Each structure stands twice: as structure tokens, then as C-alpha cells.
Amino acid sequence: MSRVGGGDAVARAAALVALFVDPVAEFGTLSGVAAAAVPEPFRSLLDHRSHMTVTMERHHGGPVSLEVVAESRAGAAGYAREILLDGPDGRVVQFGIVRLDLAAVDAATAARIRAGDAPLGRILIEAGVHCEVGDVALLEIVPGPHLRRLIGPHATFGRVAAIAIGGRPAIELLEVVAAG
């Protein structure tokens, strides 16, 4: 499902990390990895073209909740945020960074995204927004001080992906599964 292209995946992830962490090395070490080298359950959680919200809720047996760590706004339509998803038991199950072009969604959906009270996947699904998740590439991640503070010290795996809305690129994602 994922594409090979470790250098490109690392560059894409580093560009998203740089929105919130300077220098990127404070976030951690990012390496591209082939899907076959990713152990379960990480591979099943990351190597697909679905919303991570749905995947994480299925894996953890219930709804995940959103914690916005930081956000950045650029102009009327540019929006990025660094987030954590907490599982049904309150443990952090995922770290993420998302950069969105809010002009790709209607005003009510954009307002709900900015409110930061629900995971992006759930908002898009409930709004009936047709999304195409693509350009998925997997990463191995050794947490640096920034990521260790948020999800713990254990090496883990993540993915970069892009989402098109109405056939137009609108969302870039870095999604990291919490390993501990």
C-alpha cells in the first residue's frame, strides 16, 4: 500500500515537523522504511489509505479524543496543528501534525476543525467530505526530546500522507503511533 521513497518521506515529514519544532533534531530521528520491514501492529495501523481516526478507534476498541498541542495559522485558509490522540482509556495512542488548506472545505467544517474538539478524520467523515488518502510513505522514528515528552522514549513508526478533497490536494499529515 505504501510507496517506497525514504528520502522523500523523510523530507516531507521534516517539513511538517519544522512547523512546530526547531531544530527538527529536537523532534527525533526520521528514517524511511519499507512496509515489509514494519512489524505488527504498526504496519496494519499505518499502511493503508483510510483515516487514522477510524483505524485507531477500531484498534483501540472505542473513540479517540483530540488534544491540540500547538497550532499555527497562515492567512485565512492556512492552518496547521500538532496533536495527540488519546485512546478510550485516556492513554496517548498517536501523535500527529496536519497542515490544511481550509478553503477546501465549507465554512462550518473549517470552523469545527479550528475548534479543536474532535479528530480531523471524524470531522471530515461527519461532514460528508469525500477524501482520497494517498501518497502514503512509512517512517521509523526514534524520539528526540520533543517527541519523548509527548509519547514516550520508545522507537516507533509513523507515516506521511496527503489527502485530496474534491480531487485537489488539501491536507498533509505526519502520523506517529505511540509505542508504549
Task: State the pLDDT at residue 51.
Answer: 86
Task: State the pLDDT at residue 5.
Answer: 44
Contacts of 173 (CB under 8 A, 6+ apart): 16, 52, 96, 97, 98, 159, 160, 161, 162, 163
Q: Which domains does the chain have, with CATH numbers?
A: 6-177 (3.40.1410.10)
Task: State the pLDDT at residue 7.
Answer: 59
| Residue 47 near residue 53, CB atoms below 8 Å | no
Cα–Cα distance, 177 to 141 (Å, whole number):
10
Q: Spell out the per-residue pLDDT of the chain, length 180, in tens.
A: 444 445 599 999 999 999 999 999 999 999 999 999 999 999 999 998 888 898 999 999 999 999 999 999 877 678 999 999 999 999 999 999 999 999 999 999 999 999 999 999 999 999 999 899 999 999 999 999 999 999 999 999 999 999 999 889 999 999 999 986
